[in-house]
Amino acid sequence: MDIEFARTFLAVTAAGNFVGAAAKLHVTQSTVSARIKTLEQQLGTPLFRRGRGGAELTAAGRRFLRHAKVMVRTYEQARHDVGLSSGFSAGLTLRGRIALWDGFLPNWVQWMRQTAPDISLRLEIGFEEGIMQGMVQGDIDIGVMYTPQSRPAIAAEYIFGESLVLMTSSRDRHWQDSSYLHIDWGPEFLAQFSARFPDVDTSAQRVNIGWLAMQLINNQGGSAYFPVRLVRNLIQSEQLFPVEDSPLITLPVYMVYPLDRQEAHIATAIKGLRELGAEEDLRQSLDDLSSAS
């Protein structure tokens, strides 16, 4: 069986439709359809129920899902391992939100280098949709994000609570004006922000990553919600100021990983994320107590 057939099957499963899978794979929709049709002919059974709402796995498709993931993962792992030098016993790919690469995930990389120096790391930035697609398709081993989606045979485990605080570049500026930058921290943040500030117009400036908002505020001033751990030093140096009486918004940070894999190097990586997550939870609890006092 052509490995691209299994990869295409996983792309359709992750996207929920042929159009999204085609975009992900950078091929035409007709190519995706032809591959799935050939795969179904080889297996002798339909794998998807096509409808106006997209493509849903049949019972046979759900059974094939596990095998397709193993096929693609084995191929990717073989390709990775062949390229490893003799000093490494295995390779691991982790993809995480860009904000989590500021402070938290670099600490995990350092932990891995000290705890498991024989593991080769491939480190990537991604958003929730791409991280979940990578997990389903077997392209990555662990994902770290704010809002995971439910997927078969993939665990979503809480790591720590990310506290976001409303910051401003000037104590004298009223934050609810056109200088406010609305950062897309995901649907959970949007729901909490809308509940707390139902009348605030967020259409003036919208950005999809916190790093970009920080650059804009450094250049032109303004206000935005940022994770507390990213602005601790900026608060101490009085480069940014917390907006008085503004509520904290808390987002849970999750790691996602395959339930059907028991390799030691993945278990080690998960252990490190758990330990560092517990430390970050404690650190943010101390921040909250300090603010309250």
User: 137-160 pLDDT, tens per residue?
Assistant: 788 999 999 989 888 789 999 999
Among 85-89, 105-109, 245-249, the minimum mean pLDDT is found in 85-89
Give me the pLDDT at residue 83, please.
64
Inform me whether the pLDDT recorded for 53 exceeds 90.
no
Give me the pLDDT at residue 86, please.
67
74 lies in the same domain as 94? no
What is the percent of the chain where pLDDT is above 70?
Answer: 94
Q: What is the CA radius of gyration of the chain?
A: 22
From residue 106, give the alpha-carbon distance in Å to each of 124, 189, 276.
12, 24, 11
For residues 97 and 126, the answer to whether their CB atoms sit within 8 Å is: yes
For residues 104 and 276, the answer to whether their CB atoms sit within 8 Å is: yes
69 lies in the same domain as 116? no
Range of the domain at 77: 1-83
For residues 188 and 195, the answer to whether their CB atoms sit within 8 Å is: no
78 lies in the same domain as 175? no
282 lies in the same domain as 138? yes
If one counts the domains in the chain, the total is: 2
Distance CA 18, CA 146 (A): 26
Q: What is the mean pLDDT of the chain?
A: 89
Distance CA 102, CA 228 (A): 12
1 lies in the same domain as 108? no
120 lies in the same domain as 205? yes
pTM: 0.71
Q: Rounded to the nearest 10 degrees, how much is the dihedral formed by the CA atoms of 235, 193, 206, 201? A: -110
Backbone region of residue 120 per phi and psi (left: phi > 0; alpha: psi in -120 to 50; beta: other values): beta
Inform me whether the pLDDT recorded for 132 exceeds 50.
yes
Listed residues 28, 54, 83: the one ending a domain: 83
Among 35-49, 62-76, 97-111, the minimum mean pLDDT is found in 62-76
Give me the pLDDT at residue 84, please.
64
The CATH code of the domain that includes 15 is 1.10.10.10
Give me the pLDDT at residue 72, please.
83
For residues 18 and 32, the answer to whether their CB atoms sit within 8 Å is: yes
11 lies in the same domain as 98? no
Mean pLDDT (whole number) for 13-20: 90
Inform me whether the pLDDT recorded for 57 exceeds 90.
yes
198 lies in the same domain as 280? yes
Inform me whether the pLDDT recorded for 292 exceeds 60.
no
130 lies in the same domain as 170? yes
Mean pLDDT (whole number) for 250-270: 93
127 lies in the same domain as 198? yes
178 lies in the same domain as 218? yes
DSSP 52-66: TTEEEE-HHHHHHHH
125 lies in the same domain as 269? yes
Inform me whether the pLDDT recorded for 78 exceeds 80.
no
